[in-house]
Amino acid sequence: MSEKEYYTDLPKATVKRLPQYYRLFKRLVDEKTLRTNSREISEEIGVDSATVRRDFSLFGELGRRGYGYDSLALRDFFANLLGNEVATNIVLVGVGNLGRALLNYPFQRRNKLHIVQAFDIAENPLVGTKTESGIPIFDIVDLKEKISESDVRTAILSVDTPHAQKVTDMLVGAGIHGILNFTPVFLQVPDNVVIQSIDLTKELQTLIFFMNNSNQI
């Protein structure tokens, strides 16, 4: 696609599958597989082929009857849809165990995602230093000033639960429009700010529930 289109009414379940579609078509291109079909896609990402066709129908004609889906065209389509063609700068707040792991995660090797700054309270001995990859770690009191100096609209939140809302308010006040929330707190934000929450405890408890209630062979 030559121009970026915007889809504002996609089902959330479809949106969550978009990165899976992108990774699949990227791998197919890397493997020099020129085309595929909904059955093969469904087997790769673990949903039925009807769901794949329904997802793709939301974007118009992505494939051709009797031919299937062109791997290169679909890789580029989903890359454009996900904004992978444009570098995204990110700040991280909360440089504890999880925060340090996220700082070392190689986002940029897979996509154009770059953590460019990190913040924590002055008592953290890492404040005032840089990571091995050169990411500076600042005192959180300087958050608004540092963000205003950078082209950043996205943040990762990995602070202690009691401080989650206060730090979120600081991020919103500094111009952040999207927050990946690793705390279990339901964050209150204005309508123009997007929150994506990842509650690791909840995910593990859900996994254990399904394990305990699956049919045992």
Domains of the chain (ranges; CATH) run 12-81 (1.10.10.10), 88-202 (3.40.50.720)
Q: Mean pLDDT over residues 33-58, rounded?
A: 92
Residue 211's pLDDT is 87
Containing 113, the helix (H) or strand (E) segment is: strand 113-120
Name the band, by pLDDT with cuts 50, 70 and 90, for residue 138. very high
pTM attached to this predicted model: 0.75
Q: What percentage of the chain's residues is helix, strand, coil (to nearest 5)?
A: 45, 15, 40
pLDDT in tens, 92-107: 999 999 999 999 887 6
Name residues whose C-beta falls within 8 Å of residue 207's C-beta, 6 or more positions apart in sequence: none
Residue 161's pLDDT is 93
CA neighbours closer than 13 Å in the CB half-sphere of residue 46: 2
Asked if residue 111 has pLDDT above 70, the reply is no
Asked if residue 160 has pLDDT above 90, the reply is yes
Name the band, by pLDDT with cuts 50, 70 and 90, for residue 1. very low
CB 91 within 8 A of CB 64: no
User: Any idea which of 28-32, 63-67, 121-125 has the lowest mean pLDDT?
Assistant: 63-67
Q: Which residue has the higher pLDDT, 122 or 84?
A: 122
Name residues whose C-beta falls within 8 Å of residue 13's C-beta, 6 or more positions apart in sequence: none
Q: Strand 137-139's sheet: what is its strand order?
A: 137-139, 113-120, 88-93, 154-157, 178-181, 194-197
Residue 183's pLDDT is 94
Name residues whose C-beta falls within 8 Å of residue 98's C-beta, 6 or more positions apart in sequence: 158, 182
Of 114, 109, 113, the closest CA to residue 26 belongs to 109
Name the phi and psi angles at 22, rounded to 5.
-60, -50
**Angstrom distance (rounded) from CA 199 to CA 64:** 40
Name the band, by pLDDT with cuts 50, 70 and 90, for residue 60. confident
Q: Mean pLDDT over residues 157-171, rounded?
A: 96
Q: Mean pLDDT over residues 43-50, rounded?
A: 92
**Angstrom distance (rounded) from CA 207 to CA 217:** 18
Of 6, 11, 7, 8, the closest CA to residue 55 belongs to 11
Containing 118, the helix (H) or strand (E) segment is: strand 113-120
Give the whole-number percent of the chain exceeding pLDDT 70: 92
Q: Mean pLDDT over residues 208-215, rounded?
A: 82
Asked if residue 3 has pLDDT above 50, the reply is no
